[in-house]
Amino acid sequence: EENQFHSLFPNPPPFWKSFTAENLARLDEIKKGAQGGAQDGNADMSTIQNAATETSTTQLSAAQLLTLPAELRYLVPPAPPAEDSEYRVFNIPTRIRGMDLFQKNLESMKRDMEQTGLFPGWEYEQLFPSRPPSSDNGASEWTLDRQQYLLRFLRSILLNFLELLGILATNPASDDGEQKMKDILTLVANVHALVNEYRPHQARETLILMMQDQVERKKAEIEAVRQVKGKVAAALAELERSAPGREAGVLREDEVVVEPEEKRREMQRRMWYAMDELL
């Protein structure tokens, strides 16, 4: 048999039917019983309405969760992850405090280098000052001249590259060449770290440009509508001036008496023809 589609989108999970006021009240009673509190079986409306909040604030043990009926287990949300624990959102690792993508990229790069045997023992070293904690008094006034540090790092990279060329020219098998490559890698990583700190500024400026572009497009659309409005008004005025018998109110000899309804239709036809030519 051919599959019959009853809806365009898939149905929700079946456990949504368990989220009822009766089940919430039952779960609330079980939690209060587990805490040693006494409760009579009649729950008022306010208790039922606040049951969802109470179930989220009161946690049951693993053994108590296993004793719950199947329809009540869905009502107990899982414990939120710790701030430092890692979980996945759309298969992307993340944390509550946010992920340090630069540090994660460094760890991935270090793993790749260890697997290939390239630059063994290399460790990233930050060569520019870090922002002080927000609890410090001078944290709000602290600034970092990133441009100055970027220029310093670029000069250091050029100098280390020249030194590397000198080492390779004199003794290509020397261990100093590998150490110099590690130094260059550390400098390049610090350059990337400073460039990444410009991301919020770049995102803010990009958003400003997008909003300005939207404003300009809206203004252009408004101006185009005004121009079309003026053309339509001019066409209507021309039709009104060219209406037969408009000036003197007396018919000429070659004119034919036209019914008002037919005259109105003819005016509408001319108006639509004029609008088609304009648009």
What ranges do the domains of the chain cover? 14-73, 80-118, 122-133+142-197, 202-278
Tell me which of 173 and 152 has the higher pLDDT.
152
- What sign does the CA torsion over 9, 10, 12, 14 have? positive
Tell me which of 18 and 250 has the higher pLDDT.
18
Q: Which of 42-56, 240-254, 264-278 has the lowest mean pLDDT?
A: 42-56
pLDDT for residue 83:
75
The string of pLDDT tens digits covering residues 107-165 is 888 888 888 888 888 888 989 888 777 666 655 677 888 899 999 999 999 999 999 99
Q: Which of 57-71, 85-99, 238-252 has the lowest mean pLDDT?
A: 238-252
Q: Two tokens at 204?
A: 């803010």
Q: Which of 45-59, 182-196, 219-233, 256-270 has the lowest mean pLDDT?
A: 45-59
pLDDT for residue 60:
73
Interatomic CA distance for residues 48 and 54, integer angstroms: 10
DSSP letter at 91 equals T
- What sign does the CA torsion over 215, 220, 223, 225 have? negative
Residue 76 — φ and ψ, nearest 5°? Answer: -95, 110
pLDDT for residue 258:
58
Range ranked top by mean pLDDT from 40-44, 129-133, 191-195: 191-195
pLDDT tier for residue 69 given thresholds of 50, 70 and 90: confident
